[in-house]
Chains A and B, each alone.
Chain A
Amino acid sequence: MKTMTLLATLALAPCVSPLILGGVAVKAETPVLLPVKNDPTICFRIWFKVGSQNDPQGKEGLANITAAMLTDASTRINKYETIIDKLYPLAAAYDAATSVEMTVVYGRVHRDNLKAYYPLFIDAITAPAFEQSDLDRIKSEVLNNLENTLRYSSDEELGKAVLYSGIFAGTPYGHITAGTVAGVKSISLDDVRNFYKTHFTRENFVIGLGGGYSAALLASLKKDLGTLPAAGAAGPAAPNPAMPDGWHVTIVEKDAPAAAISMGFPIKALRGSKDWYALAVANSWLGEHRNSSSHLYQVIREARGLNYGDYSYIEHYPRGGMHSKPPQNVCRRQQIFEIWIRPVPLETGHFALRAALREFKSLVENGLTQEEFALTRSFLRKYVLHYAPTTMERLGYALDDSFYKIEGGHLARFRSMMDKLTLDDVNSAVRKYWQFGGMRIAIVTKDAAALRDALVADAPSPITYKTPKPESVLAEDREIAVFPVKVSPENVTVVPVTEIFK
Chain B
Amino acid sequence: MRQYLTGLCLLALVFCAGSAAMAKTIFPYKVHTEVLPNGLKVVMIPMEAPGLVAYYSVVRTGSRDEVEPGKSGFAHFFEHMMFRGTKKFPGAVYDSIVTSIGASANAFTSDDITAYHLNFAVEDLEKVIDIESDRFQNLHYEQSEFQTEAGAIYGEYRKSITSPFSVLDEKVRDVAFDVHTYKHTTIGFERDIKAMPEAFEYSHSFFRRFYRPENVVLLIVGDIQPGRVMKLITKYYSGWQPGYEAPKVLPEPPQSAERTAEVSYAGKTLPIIDIAYKGDAFNPKNRSYVAAVMLGELAFGSTSDLYKQLYIKEQRVDVLDASIAMNRDMPLFEIVARVKNEDDLPAVRDEVYAAIASFQSAPVDPQRLANAKKRRTYGFLMNLDTPNKVAGNLAITLAITGGSDAINEYYTEIDNVTPDDIMNAARHYFVPERRTVVVLKGARQ
Chain A residues within 8 Å of B, Cβ to Cβ: 2-9, 12-13, 36-41, 80-81, 84-85, 88-92, 108, 110-113, 133, 136-137, 140-141, 144, 147-149, 151-156, 212, 254-258, 260, 290, 292-293, 301-308, 321, 324-325, 342-345, 375-376, 378-386, 389-391, 465-470
Contacts and interface: CB of A to CB of B under 8 A. Distances in A.
Interface string B299-318: 00111000010011101001
Given A154-B163, A468-B147, A110 B155 contact: no
B161 A469 contact: no
A156 B159 contact: yes
| Max chain B Cβ within 10 angstroms of own Cβ: one of A92, A155, A306, A386 | A386
A375 B8 contact: no
A323 to B, nearest CB: 12
Contact of A91 (B11, B312, B374): B374
Nearest to B120: A382
B223 A375 contact: no
Interface centre among A2, A88, A258, A321 (most CB of B within 10 A): A2
A434 B223 CA distance: 41
B256 interface: no
Nearest to B318: A141
B1 A108 contact: no
A91 B102 contact: no
A469 B269 contact: no
Contact of A36 (B5, B121, B269, B315): B5
Contacts of B5: 36-39
A141 B338 CA distance: 11
Those 9 A-B pairs whose CB atoms lie nearest each other, nearest first: A305-B151, A382-B102, A152-B267, A6-B51, A467-B147, A91-B378, A40-B12, A307-B155, A89-B371
Interface centre among B98, B155, B302 (most CB of A within 10 A): B155
27 contacts: A2-B50, A2-B223, A3-B122, A5-B1, A6-B50, A6-B52, A37-B5, A39-B5, A39-B12, A81-B308, A89-B371, A90-B374, A137-B315, A141-B318, A153-B162, A254-B267, A255-B266, A258-B158, A304-B148, A307-B159, A342-B159, A344-B155, A345-B154, A381-B102, A390-B385, A390-B386, A469-B144
A300 to B, nearest CB: 9
B197 interface: yes
Chain B facing A: main interface SS: helix
A305 B302 contact: no
B36 interface: no
Nearest to A292: B95
A389 B100 contact: no
Contact of B162 (A81, A133, A256, A390): A256
B100 A378 contact: yes
Interface of B: 1, 3-6, 8-9, 11-12, 15, 49-52, 83, 91, 95-96, 98-104, 106, 119-123, 143-144, 147-152, 154-156, 158-159, 161-164, 197, 223, 266-270, 301-303, 308, 311-313, 315, 318, 340, 370-372, 374-379, 381-382, 385-386, 388, 442, 444
A467 B375 CA distance: 52
A2 B124 CA distance: 11
Contacts of A212: 12
Contacts of A391: 385
Nearest to A4: B51
Contacts of A108: 382
Contact of A258 (B104, B119, B149, B155): B155
A155 B315 contact: no
A38 B8 CA distance: 6
B315 A133 contact: yes
Nearest to A38: B9
A465 B119 CA distance: 36
A308 B302 contact: no
Given A144-B318, A255-B267, A308-B155, 20 more contacts: A41-B8, A81-B312, A88-B303, A88-B372, A89-B370, A91-B378, A91-B379, A152-B162, A153-B267, A154-B162, A258-B158, A301-B152, A303-B148, A305-B150, A305-B152, A375-B96, A383-B103, A385-B52, A386-B119, A391-B385
Nearest to A40: B12
B307 to A, nearest CB: 8
A481 B346 CA distance: 53
